[in-house]
Structure 1
């Protein structure tokens, strides 16, 4: 069966559904005597695409070979670049006929996006700087057009079916577990994703600007930002006293850039490999030096710690510690994972002081209070 490939030329409207989308970025001929490289790229895509669904290919040239005056061209390219799962840069630069000045600008915008591949013939001049940044940011690179196309399609794999506003969520975010958890909640509420734009991606964190039709209100909500990161586990280590305010709680203090004072006090916790329990035990060991058996943990459920902005959840656990453990914790430290630049200091403080002196943020105070007021 012939592959389902939808070619979308300059200023044409993209299809309403696809499983993957690529943009053919690179120099464009400006006169009839200069041949375009893009027909060969399209032929190579047709030869290699084996996905079960539709692949949209954005071709920023006029379908009928005309040379546009750029009316609407820049806006169309910007829109389609953001909708693409992979941006295929092929730069057969020729200073006289294919100078690729615009390509240099686009490369600067997309080289660190996580969805660009770069290719250029070895003899093409003026690409050393571009290749430097391809290597620096781990961008797949090739010296022929076939290898460049293959690098993009290999990362796409089978793609994922998306329609409407879903098309504007690139695969590298669509496949993210936190995004899918957030989006499942939106769908369960009857809401519709009208549009999206990835605004940043840094390591395992990402930001998405979304437009959503809110079913319960019958309106579209604009200008919403969703930040995603892996779920975290947090543990309230405590030793109960007769009075609630005297109950002692184990905190870790470490430098965190967003904190106005530089150092923040928080519960032992974080994200990492494994399920919530495994993460909880690992974080306690790394940040306090205390090795806990799994059966000592009590689960208190999961909630979003900042539901107005971040989609991730905090899985809350607690464990009562002995007097001996408390003394060892007071005398221990510093801790942390040196390879990650993490350095934590253990502090054991009474709940009343934590609350009165505003020693933790609202999210941590809420988690501590939830545990200490839960007498079950």
Structure 2
């Protein structure tokens, strides 16, 4: 009797273990991180929505890996655009044993978090980080689907010199990794194009009064003010530029290049006086693909795309496609497939170079007219 009981209990335990293992393999966890709170929450929520949209669409197909139906589960975290909070939630995702991470939005949170993901062997695709430092670390599992600040800063500088005929510039940045980085790259490009930097001022991403630095800049009479930072600071700053009667053109990177800038700047926006560049962009037949995505997004969430949503959506799709190509959701196994991928997405063709940067990344130049963002050109 005793022998028989042992014989029946052991297979039952083994069967239970196998059932648990099979169930675990059916759920693939995709982490997502962005600022869902704080001044940039509108951009973070935009990113989170797009990640959820991609996950929902894949699950509805249904999604399979190596012939097995898989449920993708989105685990979304809020980093508040704060580096300390960013590393904390990165560790939280590592502890949750996610199969990959889409994020973060801000360079200041992405760069420190990337070491945590790298040490844990987790693949990370950032849909928005533009700081060159992110991929210069050469972490094998770190990728981005947008052009870096090195390209953005140089492109804006050439536009300022060649098209706007700017001679003298003043520069302000918010001291974040992103803001300082894009400003530094712009200054490099400006000097190479023969422009003179008449002043370099600093604020922070929580400040609301810029009177002192703008008064200093006004005395130097620049043709153009370049700002490195997000729209939540650029908007109020533009109001104060107008209040102080500074006639200079205003320019910035993708962090301020949003539809929301018109609302945040109010009458400080002016007409054709603000220029910016978004990392990414499409033209030609690809515009219809992007328009279709925007329409689907609005139907699902009852709001317009803010900025990075198409890149988040493509990031999820690229990661999922790499898993399918590798027939595994194990980061170590699908990483080679991701490095070799050529994916036709909403934002165009996605391929990565040896550093994890997108190949031939596009930039879109914009100005603002009638309070609305108006596209000027897409350049590569």
Which structure: greater helix fraction?
2
Which structure: greater strand fraction?
1
Q: Report the TM-score, using the length of structure 2 for normalisation.
A: 0.29
Q: Report the TM-score, using the length of structure 1 for normalisation.
A: 0.29
* Higher Rg of the two aligned structures: 1
